[in-house]
């Protein structure tokens, strides 16, 4: 049996485009004598459709689409994901389903059993879990068809009381197919491989895994679809961050060992490629192609600019330098060197006169109080106003350049440097940004070395450095990681030999600045716990504040 895996980039709710991609893949399979083309979870709708699933019109469009696609499955069969209606009197209104298409129609539906309801997942909000289990019989073979999470209850800390594969094994399946929407984080590739390996080994069956690829707002899907033999060895792995289509022969998969030693990208390379894809897809799916950002001479804006240039093309990134009377000369010089290296468009707009005008207007009402954060934030907001004005005038999307370390402790100005349509680095710690810069410069110097080596500074008052307000990033980021990603409390973090006063100060900053993060643009998710849809915290709360 010849099986093709179609790893495609879908657009949520763009039924016409999604159908066209799917039909093209089925035709490609047919042209190559393929028996079965396998697509990913919720293919027709795109993943995650979220509250679009509350509209019958949306679900109806999905089901009309699968009927249209089924008509093309006369020579080649297909497995394809979509939401379907639950016609039972009780339970949630929908199932997360996989349709088996052959003979020109939908032959059967397999529903997802294990519905994740943690981090970015909300599936139990919409879907009813499956309670009946049967294999798909096709061309003399029995297929154990599972949907993403259905294979994930095999780890040391099971979340569910049921394991779908245990229910299917009495029917003696010949192989496993898992269609998935498995979002990227820089640890996920290894974790996912281990989960799939455990399934192949436990059940002694070859396994075909097909994943989404592409960005859906802040969620990034890396692809990495793969095929394993029954020993849990990867026979082949598909591309990361790109569409791919590969054909396999079941008999060969069942008998061959690992095809090659897999040379996977490093974590920082994966993060780099994920962010580039995230920018590219965010713009492309919104029908925009030009970005604007404030280029400060610091490492965050420099890395953002380079990533945007890789995603959109150098000519489509507009860098605006916005120096004030507090800006150092090297900030402008370093920024100019960067835009020259990549031949990007730029302008210099000095904000000193605008600041003086605001200072003059506010002086009577500031009542002679000394210069403080009010004047610092005023500069950031002037910059934000200018960038948004240019965005409105010329139709650019403003890229936010703040990092996760800053976002965590509230080191940013609402309606100023926290402006933007998309936050590129909002899930990337400062220490990781230094690694990204070095990775970008691995072949030649794109980001000027001085930007990487000079002490970070917001340059909102004379001789300012980030270290005046924050602990050293090497320490700050480790404490933040333990609290945000590892969900450790203050006592547990202090037990790791961190200073108690410092730990409690940092955790208080994180919790008391939650209100700021509620007002930030979507942040491209690259970690196991990102700010945004996967981390839900109350604003008006007392814990650790």
Contacts of 217 (CB under 8 A, 6+ apart): 282, 522
Q: Is-catalytic flag, 194?
A: no
Residue 182, domain member (yes or no) = yes
Which comes out higher in pLDDT, residue 244 or 368?
244
Residues 250 and 284 in one domain: no
Residues 253 and 274 in one domain: no
pLDDT tens, position by position, 314-341: 999 999 999 988 777 788 999 999 999 9
Residue pointed to by tokens 């990603």: 485
Model pLDDT, residue 325: 84
Residue 374, domain member (yes or no) = yes
> Can you name the residues that pair with 176 across neighbouring β-strands?
144, 207
Residues 253 and 279 in one domain: no
- Residue after which a domain boundary falls, among 233, 257, 281: 257
Q: What's the pTM?
A: 0.95
Backbone angles phi, psi at 48, to 5 degrees: -95, 135
Number of independent structural domains in the chain: 2
If one counts every other C-beta atom within 10 angstroms of the C-beta of residue 420, the result is: 27
Model pLDDT, residue 257: 67
Residues 351 and 391 in one domain: yes
Residue 72, domain member (yes or no) = yes
Q: Single out the catalytic residue among 21, 41, 193, 406.
A: 41
Quick one: average pLDDT of 83-91?
A: 96
- Lowest average pLDDT, out of 2-16, 186-200, 254-268, 319-333, goes to 254-268
Contacts of 489 (CB under 8 A, 6+ apart): none
Residues 238 and 315 in one domain: no
Cα Rg, the chain, nearest whole Å: 26
Give the Cα separation of 217 and 232 in Å (integer).
Answer: 33
Residues 248 and 321 in one domain: no
Give the Cα separation of 171 and 110 in Å (integer).
Answer: 15
User: In sequence order, which ranges of 72-231 are alpha helices (DSSP H)?
Assistant: 164-168, 188-203
Give the Cα separation of 238 and 244 in Å (integer).
Answer: 7
Q: Answer yes or no: is pLDDT of 276 > 70.
A: yes
Q: Please, how many CA atoms are within 13 Å of residue 459, restricted to the half-sphere of its CB?
A: 20
Rounded-to-10 torsion of CA 186, 294, 456, 530: -30
Question: What is the CATH number for 147?
Answer: 3.60.110.10
Residue pointed to by tokens 């009927």: 67
Residue 357, domain member (yes or no) = yes
Give the Cα separation of 497 and 184 in Å (integer).
Answer: 32
Model pLDDT, residue 157: 78
Residue 470, domain member (yes or no) = no
Residue 390, domain member (yes or no) = yes
pLDDT tens, position by position, 411-449: 999 999 999 999 999 999 999 999 999 999 999 999 999
Query: Residue 255: which pLDDT band, with cuts at 50, 70 and 90?
Result: confident
Residues 313 and 218 in one domain: no
**Residue 312 belongs to domain spanning:** 270-465
Q: Is-catalytic flag, 62?
A: no
Q: Single out the catalytic residue among 73, 148, 459, 482.
A: 148
Give the Cα separation of 335 and 344 in Å (integer).
Answer: 11
Query: Residue 22: which pLDDT band, with cuts at 50, 70 and 90?
Result: very high
- Residue after which a domain boundary falls, among 228, 257, 286: 257
Model pLDDT, residue 158: 86
Q: Answer yes or no: is pLDDT of 259 > 70.
A: no
Give the Cα separation of 269 and 240 in Å (integer).
Answer: 11
Residues 253 and 281 in one domain: no
Residue 500, domain member (yes or no) = no
- Residue after which a domain boundary falls, among 195, 223, 257: 257
Residues 279 and 245 in one domain: no
Quick one: average pLDDT of 241-253?
A: 95
Residues 65 and 209 in one domain: yes
Model pLDDT, residue 458: 61
Residues 207 and 327 in one domain: no
Query: Residue 377: which pLDDT band, with cuts at 50, 70 and 90?
Result: very high
Residue 481, domain member (yes or no) = no
Closest CA to 446 of 436, 454, 456, 455: 436
pLDDT tens, position by position, 452-499: 998 877 666 566 676 777 889 999 999 999 999 999 999 999 999 999
pLDDT tens, position by position, 112-164: 999 999 999 999 999 999 999 999 999 999 999 999 999 999 987 789 999 99
Q: Single out the catalytic residue among 21, 62, 73, 112.
A: 112
Which comes out higher in pLDDT, residue 381 or 327?
381
Residues 88 and 138 in one domain: yes
Q: Answer yes or no: is pLDDT of 533 > 90.
A: yes
- Concatenating the DSSP letter of every residue in 239-304 gives -BSS-EEEEEEHHHHHH----S---PPPHHHHHHHHHHHHHHHHHHHTT---EEEE--SSHHHHHH
Give the Cα separation of 194 and 226 in Å (integer).
Answer: 12
Under DSSP, the state recorded for 369 is P
Question: What is the CATH number for 278?
Answer: 3.40.50.620
What percent of the chain is predicted at pLDDT more than 90? 91
CB 39 within 8 A of CB 25: yes
């Amino acid at each position: 049996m010849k099986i093709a895996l179609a790893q495609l980039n879908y657009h949520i709710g763009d039924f016409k485009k999604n159908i066209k991609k799917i039909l093209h893949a089925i035709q490609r399979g047919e042209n190559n004598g393929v028996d079965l083309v396998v697509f990913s979870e919720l293919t027709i709708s795109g993943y995650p459709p979220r509250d679009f699933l509350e509209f019958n019109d949306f679900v109806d469009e999905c089901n009309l689409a699968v009927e249209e696609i089924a008509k093309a499955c006369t020579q080649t069969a297909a497995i394809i994901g979509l939401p379907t209606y639950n016609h039972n009197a009780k339970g949630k209104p929908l199932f997360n389903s996989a349709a088996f298409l052959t003979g020109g129609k939908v032959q059967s539906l397999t529903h997802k059993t294990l519905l994740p309801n943690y981090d970015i997942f909300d599936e139990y909000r919409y879907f009813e879990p499956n309670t009946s289990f049967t294999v798909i019989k096709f061309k003399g073979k029995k297929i154990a068809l599972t949907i993403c999470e259905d294979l994930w209850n095999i780890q040391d800390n099971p979340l569910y009381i049921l394991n779908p594969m245990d229910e299917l094994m009495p029917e003696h399946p010949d192989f496993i197919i898992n269609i998935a929407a498995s979002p990227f984080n820089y640890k996920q590739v290894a974790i996912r491989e281990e989960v799939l390996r455990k399934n192949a080994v436990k059940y002694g069956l070859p396994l075909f895994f097909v994943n989404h690829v592409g960005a859906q707002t802040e969620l990034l899907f890396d692809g990495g679809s793969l095929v394993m033999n029954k020993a849990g060895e990867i026979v082949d792995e598909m591309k990361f961050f790109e569409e791919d289509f590969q054909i396999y022969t079941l008999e060969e998969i069942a008998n061959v060992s690992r095809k090659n030693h897999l040379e996977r990208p490093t974590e920082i390379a994966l993060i780099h490629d994920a962010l580039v894809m995230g920018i590219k897809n965010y713009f492309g799916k919104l029908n925009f192609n030009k970005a604007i950002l404030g280029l400060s001479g610091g490492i965050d804006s420099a890395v953002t600019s380079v990533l945007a240039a890789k995603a959109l093309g150098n000519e489509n990134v507009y860098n605006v330098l916005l120096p004030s009377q507090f800006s150092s000369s090297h900030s402008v010089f370093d920024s100019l060197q960067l835009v020259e290296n990549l031949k990007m468009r730029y302008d210099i707009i000095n904000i000193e006169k605008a600041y003086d005008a605001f200072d003059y207007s506010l002086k009577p009402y500031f009542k002679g109080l000394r210069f403080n954060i009010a004047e610092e934030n005023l500069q950031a907001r002037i910059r934000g106003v200018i960038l948004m004005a240019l965005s409105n005038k010329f139709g650019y999307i403003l890229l936010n350049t703040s990092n996760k370390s800053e976002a965590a402790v509230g080191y940013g100005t609402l309606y100023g440097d926290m402006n933007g349509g998309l936050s590129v680095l909002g899930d990337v710690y400062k220490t990781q940004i230094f690694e990204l810069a070095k990775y970008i410069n691995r072949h030649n110097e794109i980001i000027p070395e001085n930007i990487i080596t000079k002490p970070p500074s917001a340059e909102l008052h004379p001789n300012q450095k980030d270290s005046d307000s924050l602990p050293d990033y090497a320490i700050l980021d480790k404490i933040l990681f333990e609290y945000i990603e590892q969900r450790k409390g203050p006592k547990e973090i202090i037990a790791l030999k961190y200073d108690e006063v410092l730990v409690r100060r940092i955790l208080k900053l994180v919790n008391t600045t939650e209100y700021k993060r509620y007002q930030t643009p979507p942040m491209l998710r690259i970690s196991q716990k990102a700010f945004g849809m996967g981390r839900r915290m109350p604003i008006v709360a007392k814990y650790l504040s």
